[in-house]
Every structure is written in structure tokens, then in C-alpha cells.
Structure 1
Amino acid sequence: MKHLVILLIVLAAGMGLSVEAGLLGPLGESVGHLSATLSIFLVGSLLLSLALVFGTRPPLARLFSQPKWLLTGGLLGPIYVVVLTLATPLVGVGLTMVGILCGQLAASLVIDHFGWLGGERRAIDGYRVSALGLILVALWLI
């Protein structure tokens, strides 16, 4: 049951990313791609700051005692959002999101296969390669 709930939350988050892409395209064309990206991170930072102030949390000092390479993920978010902002008006939300999904799955398979970034090793098998192949077909069809 726990896995089903998590899967539903993940699906909803994926839907939210498509909505975000749909919003970012026109916003980026109107105010500039970097300004649109900044607006997304400013609103997100405000919401997360409120959650930290009013929610229960571990001490923030713990964050700075982690290996520095774990913090490099923060570099990837703005790059992702800028790509959404640039690509969506040109190719549409559908093609943008399938392209993103294809890249995510390809990288995820390699990360899982080798157990990189502290994750458990999960060997690439025929099912996973087939899933990637189907997403590539979807990318070509869209």
C-alpha cells in the first residue's frame, strides 16, 4: 500500500512538471528565460522557507556537514528549468516532457546499474532497456 501511495504522489508530481513547463514557456517568452527561471526559484524558496520555519525539521547545520558533492544537485535544477523554458514554446509540452523523461530514464538506468550516488545497485535488464526503447519510440512519434 505504501508503494502505491508513493507511486501516486510521483505521478502527480510528474503532472505538475508538465504544468510547470506549460507555464514557463509563455512566461519565459514574455519576461525572458532567465527571469522566468528565477521567478520559479524565488517562489519555491519562499514556500520552502515557510515550511522550514513552521514545520518540524532537523537542524539546518546538518546540511553543511554533508559531503559537498551532495550539494551539487542544486546546480541541475536551474539548468532543467531553463531548458523547459526554452524548449516548450518551440516543440510543445508533450515533446519537451517525453524528451526529459527519456534523458531521465537513460541516466537513471546507468546510475542504478552501477549503484552511483549512494543508491542500491539494480542491474539493467531487458525490461528496463525495453522501457527506454518505448520512450524513444514515443519521442520519435510525438
Structure 2
Amino acid sequence: MNLLLIPLVVMAGMGLSVEAGLLGPLGAEVGEGWATLGIFGMGSLLLTFGLIFSRPKLGALFSQPRWMLAGGLLGPIYVLALTLATPHIGVGLTMVGILFGQVAASLIIDHQGWLGASRRAVDRYRLAALAAILVALWLIH
């Protein structure tokens, strides 16, 4: 099952690149904040329609520790960063920069076992992968 998730996350990453490519021109036309709101509005509508046919779990959502909902603050910041950066530095450099930040933070989260993650030690292979992404960031610039 875990191997089947790899193509899924690769395709999701490809979708993020397409999203970044769409956000730049949209932000130039309507403003970065409105572009971000538009993307989240469309996503919220789609998700709402999908959830209409599922069993409600809203009570369970709000009974969780409040810090678990903090990810809702990070999404708009991420999309706004895409909207601002992509027209100036391109989709490639934007995505590799984001990838470097994601992997660096992910290694720390895994190593420490934060946010409910299983602990996975940062070893030389993981550090080498992070270094390779840093080299890619430098090369693509």
C-alpha cells in the first residue's frame, strides 16, 4: 500500500506546480490576496460538495486540540507565497525552494516525532537528500 502512495504524492506535487503557474497570472490580474481567496473559495466549494455525501464529523473536528487546526493558517500563507513569488522567479525555482523548505521541516518533525509523527532519525542519507535539493535550488536559480 505504501508504494501506491508514491505516485499519488508525485501527482499531487505536479498539481501544486500547475497551481503555482495559475496563481501568478491570476494574482497579476486580480491582486494576490484575491487570487488566494479565489483558490481557497473554489477548493472549499469542491470539498463542501464532497462532504455533503459523507457522515458528519464536525463535532469531532472541534473537540480536537486547537493546535491541530493551526494548519488552516498555513495554507493561505503558502498559496500567497506562491502567488507572490512565481511571477518573479518562475514556477521551477518557486517549487524547488518550497520543496527545500518542506523537506528541511519534515526531517526535523520526523526526527523529533513532533505533531504525532513517528520518530525517524535524520541520518546521512536524509541529509544528503536535503543537500541535493539545496544544490538543485542553486542550479535552477
TM-score by length of 1: 0.97
**Structure 2 match to 1:139:** 137
Question: Tell me, which stretches of 5 or more residues in structure 2 are unaligned?
Answer: none
Question: Tell me, which stretches of 5 or more residues in structure 1 are unaligned?
Answer: none
**Structure 2 match to 1:101:** 99
Per-residue Cα deviation, 1:100-141 (whole angstroms, up to 9, x for no partner): 000000000000000000111100000000000000000000
Identity %: 69
How far off is 1:84 after superposition? 0.1
**Structure 1 match to 2:127:** 129
**Structure 2 match to 1:66:** 64
Do structure 1's residue 24 and structure 2's residue 7 form an aligned pair? Answer: no
Determine helix, strand or coil for the equivalent of 1:110. Answer: helix
Per-residue Cα deviation, 1:44-92 (whole angstroms, up to 9, x for no partner): 00001001102x2352110000000000110000000000000000000
CA RMSD of aligned residues (A): 0.7
Q: Cα–Cα, structure 1 residues 43 and 58, in superposed 2: closer, same or farther, change >3 Å?
A: same
Do structure 1's residue 91 and structure 2's residue 89 form an aligned pair? Answer: yes
How far off is 1:26 after superposition? 0.5
- What amino acid is the match of 1:5? L
Distance in structure 1 (CA, Å) of the matches to 2:26 and 2:81: 13
Determine helix, strand or coil for the equivalent of 1:122. Answer: coil
Do structure 1's residue 35 and structure 2's residue 43 form an aligned pair? Answer: no
**Structure 1 match to 2:51:** 52
- What amino acid is the match of 1:33? E
Distance in structure 2 (CA, Å) of the matches to 1:67 and 1:126: 35
User: Which of 110, 113, 120 lines up with 1:112 in the alignment?
Assistant: 110
TM-score by length of 2: 0.97
- What amino acid is the match of 1:23? L
Equivalent pairs counted in the alignment come to: 140
Distance in structure 2 (CA, Å) of the matches to 1:121 and 1:132: 18
